[in-house]
Amino acid sequence: MEMNATAVEEIVKQVLSSLSQSPAAGNSTASGVIPDKVRVAMLTQLGKMEVKEFPMPQVGDDDLLVKVEGCGICGTDVHEYKRDPFSLIPVALGHEGTGEIVKMGKNVKVDSAGNPVKVGDKIVTCMIFKDNPDITMFDLNKQNVGGADVYGLLPDDEVHANGWFADYILVRGALGSTFFNVSDLDLDSRILIEPCAVLIHAVERAKSTGILKFNSRVVVQGCGPIGLICVAVLKTMGIQNIVTVDGNAQRLEFSKRLGATGTVNFKDFEGIEGLTKGVEAAFGGHLADFGFQCTGSPAGHANIYKFIRNGGGLCELGFFINGGDATINPHFDICSKELTMVGSWVYTLRDYATTFDFLKGAKAIGLPMNELITDKYPLSKVDEGFQKAASMTGLKIAIVAD
């Protein structure tokens, strides 16, 4: 049956009229209709995550509403879950998250690197500047994220959707939020961006000593997610002689797949002298030129000095919170060795942008980065996911959309 132009025009008018009168108009997106409520996983007391419902927050002119696709559980999240060291309870946790833009304020045109963004793009958030002018995109060394805030570690307020363990998060421009368009990365890679940025920053700090070079012998102590990513970053840089130290045989074996050339299980040695000889043997009779301490253990920190040669270098990045005091001998461990040391804590905004290239480079040389994510739990089972992370029986645990 043929229809004349007038009939077609009338049908189009009727369809447009019905859309404008629909109560969901303005909330219809590429991903479907935005609900009236948002589910947020709140840490309500020590050792208890609860999924609560709140009214969907309003999107201001400088804001983004993002439908969460996934978020990794960080060691910091676990510390907060077990001890609340930042005194944030009740709090919406989750800072290793990513998702899809479903609604944008009229003033949002580009991300923090100047790349265009639109509804349907995938993003990650980085730091929240607040009003601190010393944190800038192009200054690597003034301040790291320690001078800013991040989503997932914000005090609870009337918005509530402040962490990535939720089905939606409101990225608020008025807070000084930063975010990046990462639509060219797969979901697992996007979940790994935040922890990988920690290591990009640490390796940049290590390079500033002038000691870390292509032919360096490098010891990485601690094969949790941070230590394993450290190995991958070093391998992607082209460093070929990496020895890992840990007490978990499976994690040590996985470190080889990410680039380690030798492993040392500290359970196989008695005392620090024996362990040092084990590290030396793994390097063919040499001590390390450079060390990365990734354990968060004061005893681990005290030990790593022994693994490094005179004139060598050390990057300490394992302590994201106060883990206690370490006992060292300044003469033997630092002065007589003329050791060059740097500390590293989280990242800068520029490190985030560098991380995207690292993940692509690691994939290009065949490193199994996505296998770092060993377990995934839906939002409805977020507490089970935290229990798994706290048990330290997996590597990276992620909470994903139901």
Range(s) of the chain covered by CATH 3.90.180.10: 32-184+369-400
**CA separation for the pair 116, 262 (Å, rounded):** 44
Kindly list the distances between the CA atom of residue 29 and the CA atoms of 62, 185, 389, in Å, as whole numbers in the listed order: 18, 22, 34
pLDDT at 286: 98
pLDDT at 139: 52
pLDDT at 107: 97
- pLDDT tens for each residue of the chain, 402 residues long: 344 545 545 544 443 443 333 333 334 354 578 999 999 999 999 999 999 999 999 999 999 999 999 999 999 999 999 999 889 999 999 999 999 999 999 999 999 999 999 999 999 999 887 655 555 554 544 555 556 789 999 999 999 999 999 999 999 998 889 999 999 999 999 999 999 999 999 999 999 999 999 999 999 999 999 999 999 999 999 999 999 999 999 999 999 999 999 999 999 999 999 999 999 999 999 999 999 999 999 999 999 999 999 999 999 998 878 889 999 999 999 999 999 999 998 888 889 999 999 999 999 999 999 999 999 999 999 999 999 999 999 999 999 998
What is the residue whose two structure tokens read 């609870």? 156
At 280, list the tokens. Answer: 């030396």
pLDDT at 18: 38
What is the residue whose two structure tokens read 């993940």? 359
Range(s) of the chain covered by CATH 3.40.50.720: 197-343
pLDDT at 142: 53
Identify the CA nearest to 247 among candidates 274, 232, 266. Answer: 266
Could you report the per-residue pLDDT of 271-322, keeping only the tens digit for each? Answer: 999 999 999 999 999 999 999 999 999 999 999 999 999 999 999 998 878 8
- CB-CB contact of 9 with 16 (8 Å): no
pLDDT at 176: 87
Q: What does CATH list as the number for 197-343?
A: 3.40.50.720
Identify the CA nearest to 148 among candidates 170, 124, 131, 125. Answer: 131
pTM of the model: 0.89
pLDDT at 127: 86
Kindly list the distances between the CA atom of residue 53 and the CA atoms of 57, 150, 248, 385, in Å, as whole numbers in the listed order: 12, 22, 40, 19
Do the strands 64-72 and 96-104 form a parallel or antiparallel pair, or are they unpaired?
A: antiparallel
Q: What is the CA radius of gyration of the chain?
A: 24
- CATH superfamily, domain 32-184+369-400, is Medium-chain alcohol dehydrogenases, catalytic domain (3.90.180.10)
Residues in the chain: 402
DSSP 3-state helix, strand, coil percentages of the chain (rounded to 5)? 35, 25, 40
In this structure, the number of other CB atoms found within 10 A of the CB of residue 55 comes to 12
Do the strands 177-181 and 122-128 form a parallel or antiparallel pair, or are they unpaired?
A: antiparallel
At 165, list the tokens. Answer: 């363990």
pLDDT at 321: 80
At 92, list the tokens. Answer: 């919406």
